[in-house]
Structure 1
Amino acid sequence: MNHIDPVVSPKWLLARMYEPDLVIVDCRFALGSPEEGKHSYLASHIPGAVFLDVEQDLSAPVGPHGGRHPLPDPQELAARLGRTGIGHDTRVVAYDDQGGLYAARLWWMLRWLGHDQAYVMDGGFAAWQAGGFPVTDAQRTLVPAAFVPNVRSGMLADVNEVRRTLGDPGVLLVDSRDASRYAGEQEPIDAKAGHIPGAVNRFWKGVLDDQGAWLAEPALRERLAPVIRALDDGREAIVYCGSGVSACPNVLALHRLGYPQAKLYAGSWSDWISYSENPIATGEE
């Protein structure tokens, strides 16, 4: 991975954690237990880290459409990030305790707003603790910064664009949920089971090894081979999941491999099924 790798090691962060242009963001979150991430942060976190909640800070309120974690208004998101000390020249390192699931969402959102100096810490808080690195319960004093968004609309796909891709051989849809949800065998969260017709399945956890660390490049290429082939052939790739969060590790993995053009369908499955006319597929493709 010869370009700047957006995934950094705990040791990399340890060496830079007190540099003034760095903001560390704790993104811990537990689906179904919305207070747990904040409680974990208040109990113990990387020194200097600020906390951003996936639902309260990094999503808009849920409406009839837009999915379970709708993207916030770019200006509102930029203002919120600015209040936590993230400005144009800030390097941001995000971590969580879910293999980078929520940290990758923040990485994607920063890039969507035009901010490239965004990173995800490999292995999350568990790897930091396993390294014997310092933790604290002290709160960082927030010094607001100016963050003016420069939105990259091309990173995003909406429901209309996804509808237009159905049956289009020039576009590959990538479903990032686990195989049983993709196949429609079970659906523990959303109102309808199945997947968007034509999508291939690449469960997001496949970009990690058994210890929860990011795969090295050869294994990552093998894991995402169908998507890479499509992109190498000049096709588009649109990645989705349940609510636009767990698709982000797949988007990040493709970015690491030199394919930053993969788009995120931010509303994802929970948005797709909010339109009764949208078709649903089950089983394997």
Structure 2
Amino acid sequence: MYEQVVVSADWLAGRLDEVRVIDVRDAWEFDGIGHVPGAANVPFAAFRSEAGDEGMLPGRETWEALLSNAGVGPDDDVVAYDDTHGVFAARFLVTAELYGHPPERLHLLDGDFSAWNREHETTSESSPPPETDYAVRDPERSPLVDYETVLDALDDADTVVVDTRDPGEYAEGHLPGAVNLDWRELVDDETRGLKPESERSDILADVGVTPDTRVILYCNTARRISHTYVVLRSLGYENVGFYEGSLTEWTERGGPVETA
């Protein structure tokens, strides 16, 4: 069992025969640009749906079909990657956790596809994945929080509500009292991977997010908070709420909004 949340390209290279690798880029990138050998392609658009379950979750049957077709078993170690600093891959991993895949078996490739491409072999050939019959399970513990929980948290001095959108979006309107932490602040633009752990911890502490605080994350459609959620998991944070409905549901339900 591997409990590292974020893994390096070298880590993955030594375990290609032991893990299932998921590439969430578009099919033309997977085939035309190349991919990690043995990876299965599950494009981001395939697991996002406004007609599925809560928020943008795709629905249980859709998820089961996608993972079965990708050859993922219910207890496989899964490594996901994209070419956008990991934000789309993180969304895949959070979706897997919410549908009951063991969280300790879910891993994000640090530095996205470019980290692999710089040092390791890629391929444009695809081999059929093993046949699986993936079944969704209820997670032992779900990070999901609903509208009412978030509304109550606005008046809770022991909870930090974090808006992971960019400062311009935050200024236009955000949940009252929320702090702004653009998810990209935790990423090193040069390496495309996460900033060093100590630097990440300092950035989080600057907005009041520390391991002993209760944290609730939101953005617009729960994509960007997926990346921040994975980062917090990698740092050992345990009390993190994931508002799947995010600002889309919040405004639809008439939740209070303030401007900067």
TM-score after normalising by structure 1: 0.82
- Give the AA of the match of 2:3: I
In 2, the alpha carbon distance for the partners of 1:274 and 1:155 equals 22
Q: Deviations over 1:125-170 (max 9, x none)?
A: 1121222x21121123032223333323631112232223232223
Q: Which residue of 1 aligns with 2:209?
A: 228
| 2:80 corresponds to 1:130 | no
In 2, the alpha carbon distance for the partners of 1:104 and 1:260 equals 17
Q: Which residue of 2 aligns with 1:73?
A: 59
In 1, the alpha carbon distance for the partners of 2:132 and 2:144 equals 26
In 1, the alpha carbon distance for the partners of 2:45 and 2:155 equals 33
In 1, the alpha carbon distance for the partners of 2:70 and 2:62 equals 13
- Give the AA of the match of 2:125: A
Determine which of 30, 34, 37 is the counterpart of 1:41.
30
Q: Which residue of 1 aligns with 2:243?
A: 265
Q: Structure 1 vs Structure 2: percent identity of aligned residues?
A: 30
Higher deviation after alignment, 75-84 or 38-47: 75-84
| 2:138 corresponds to 1:159 | no
Distance 1:214 1:182, change over 3 A: same
In 2, the alpha carbon distance for the partners of 1:61 and 1:81 equals 19
In 2, the alpha carbon distance for the partners of 1:144 and 1:279 equals 48
Q: Which residue of 2 aligns with 1:34?
A: none
Unaligned runs of 5+ in 2: none
- Give the AA of the match of 2:69: R
Q: Residue 209 of structure 2 contacts residue 215 of structure 2 at CA under 8 Å; is this kept in 1?
A: no
Q: Which residue of 1 aligns with 2:174?
A: 195
Q: Which residue of 1 aligns with 2:43?
A: 53
Distance 1:85 1:124, change over 3 A: same
- Does the residue aligned with 1:263 lie in a helix, a strand or coil? strand
Q: Deviations over 1:245-279 (max 9, x none)?
A: 1111111111111113312111212222222x221
Cα shift at 1:75: 4.8
Q: Deviations over 1:182-216 (max 9, x none)?
A: 111xxxxxxxxx11112111110111113211122
Output aligned runs, 1:243-258, within 5 Å. 243-258=221-236
Q: Deviations over 1:53-80 (max 9, x none)?
A: 2222x222358x965xx11233542342
- Give the AA of the match of 1:238: I
Cα shift at 1:120: 0.8
In 2, the alpha carbon distance for the partners of 1:260 and 1:52 equals 28
Q: Residue 26 of structure 1 contacts residue 49 of structure 1 at CA under 8 Å; is this kept in 2?
A: yes
Q: Which residue of 2 aligns with 1:31?
A: none
| 2:101 corresponds to 1:102 | no
Q: Residue 239 of structure 1 contacts residue 264 of structure 1 at CA under 8 Å; is this kept in 2?
A: yes
Output aligned runs, 1:161-176, within 5 Å. 161-176=149-164
Unaligned runs of 5+ in 1: 29-36, 185-193
- Give the AA of the match of 1:269: L
Cα shift at 1:47: 1.4
In 1, the alpha carbon distance for the partners of 2:230 and 2:189 equals 19
| 2:5 corresponds to 1:9 | no
In 1, the alpha carbon distance for the partners of 2:72 and 2:148 equals 32
In 1, the alpha carbon distance for the partners of 2:224 and 2:70 equals 24
